[in-house]
Amino acid sequence: MPHANEVLERGADFLKSFIADGPLLVALSGGSDSSALLHVFDRLCRTPAFRRFNLAAATIDHGLRSGSSEEARIAGETCARLGIPHRILRWEGAKPSSGLQAAARLERYRLLTAEAKRLGARAILVGHTADDQKETIAMRAGRGEGPGLAGMAPAVLLHETIWALRPFLCLSRQTLRDQLDRWGEVYMDDPSNANPRFERARLRLAGETGSAPALSPEERLGISVREAEWLKRHGRVMGGAVAFIEGEGLSPAARAGAALALFRLAAAIGGKVHLPGRSERERLDAFLAEGQPGRLTLGGTVFDRRREGLYLYREKRGLAAARVPVGSLHDGRYRLEGPEDGEGLVIPVEDSDGAKALLEGEGVPPAIARRAAPALFTLSGPSEGMFLRRVVAAQAGFLPGFDLPFAEALRSAFRLPPLPPLPVRQ
């Protein structure tokens, strides 16, 4: 049975874990979870021990329900009563007819990231609970997502920029509601939480939530460390386009404990967010077990086995030119950088021989460079102040904190700048 001070104690322990102080942005929907987040940290930040922190809040109005604007206004009134700066951020433009919740999630975190950058916030605080964790595991188990069965991470890096932290991931929703009731604070219920149109709501209505995570955060972190060690020892990336794994690194002994590292590397080379499916991974394992030269294409990445080892590069199919707004991704491998509101035409390289020569200069064998060069992109036409920056698709949106060791090893291999460090001690 939780005791009356459990929520405050958890909040205090969380603030003590910060490496440095600074502004914190609360993602406030007005529901019980985020309302508890706001009130707990408001009370704590008024105490002498935590006055070095200051709060701001933001509410996302997705514009998907008639009452959403009113709910955002009420959330703002709560912040005004507490003296906490608050902004309403609206999802503008057309909404998709399918995948609505996933699209809303992407937009929500994009808006929160932009607001956190504007404020210079140390982190974004998100009110997910143990109930959300169980539901997430149930959904991922239904889709057969092996690594995802570790559940949501306590910390997630958004858009390579700002950390979103989940202080109450170990507490139940009812524990937070009980605390709000003791304080006499009210909260709203989002009707979407009971709408069977959405997967999470269906699970709640059916009572089909998952169990505890199959892997603890510590176990998931340990896997990431082993994957990073495997990549550092056995692999390298040349020209941001071709990866090489030495033969020894392909042995079962070398890959033990880091079995998914090769697939994470392949996803980065091919511009994919997600790993190949289980059947595709089994095909590659069988291909590697044969130990013979040859090529296999999976998930947009070519696995080219040579005597000296394995080369990976993007396949030549689906290389479309497109007009890309500044800040957007193209092909999962490039982000267009430049003046705000700018736009550039991104096309496959026209000078394939020149691209081949550049790859050879990075140490890529000529035959591999010839195959990999046509999959490179460049800017066409006027592009003053704009350039393409290589990215890793799986890191460009959401990066769980327990995947950070491998993510950093991958960035080092691609010669990308380091990611922002976690603002809290793990």
Give residue-wise pLDDT tens across range 377-403. Answer: 999 987 789 999 999 999 999 999 999
CB 391 within 8 A of CB 333: yes
Closest CA to 374 of 311, 318, 415: 318
C-alpha distances (whole Å) from 135 to each of 141, 167, 208, 378 are 10, 18, 8, 42
Closest CA to 123 of 426, 421, 355: 421
Between 346 and 146, the more confident residue is 346
Q: Which residues contact 35 (CB under 8 A, 6 or more apart)?
A: 28, 78, 127, 180, 185, 186, 187
Give residue-wise pLDDT tens across range 178-235. Answer: 999 999 999 998 655 544 454 545 555 455 555 555 678 888 899 999 999 999 999 9
Q: What angle (nearest 5°) sits at the alpha carbon of residue 237, between those of residues 305 and 407? A: 115
Report helix, strand and coil shares of the chain as percent, to nearest 5.
45, 20, 35
pLDDT score, position 139:
66
Phi-psi region of 303 (alpha: psi -120 to 50; beta: other; left: phi over 0): beta
- Quote the CA–CA distance of 217 and 237 in Å, as a whole number: 29
- Quote the CA–CA distance of 11 and 38 in Å, as a whole number: 11
Tokens 């958004």, residue located: 158
CB 54 within 8 A of CB 23: yes
Whole-number average pLDDT of the chain:
90
**β-strands 54-61, 23-27: how paired?**
parallel
Give residue-wise pLDDT tens across range 294-318. Answer: 999 999 999 999 999 999 999 999 9
Tokens 């709408």, residue located: 195
Sign of dihedral through CA atoms 229, 235, 236, 241?
negative
The SS3 assignment for 15 reads: helix
Phi-psi region of 160 (alpha: psi -120 to 50; beta: other; left: phi over 0): left
**Which residues on adjacent β-strands are paired with residue 314?**
301
Give residue-wise pLDDT tens across range 325-372. Answer: 999 999 999 999 999 889 999 999 999 899 999 999 999 999 999 999
pLDDT score, position 215:
76
Structure tokens at 138: 């149930």
Q: Please give the model's pTM, rounded to 2 decimal places.
A: 0.89
Helices H, strands E: what count in the chain?
15, 18
Give residue-wise pLDDT tens across range 80-94. Answer: 999 999 999 998 888
What is the mean pLDDT of the segment spanning 265-269?
Answer: 97
Within the chain, all domains assigned CATH 3.40.50.620 are found at: 6-206
CA–chain centroid gap for 385, Å, is 28
Phi-psi region of 291 (alpha: psi -120 to 50; beta: other; left: phi over 0): left
C-alpha distances (whole Å) from 74 to each of 30, 60, 70, 377 are 8, 12, 6, 48
CATH superfamily of the 6-206 domain? HUPs (3.40.50.620)
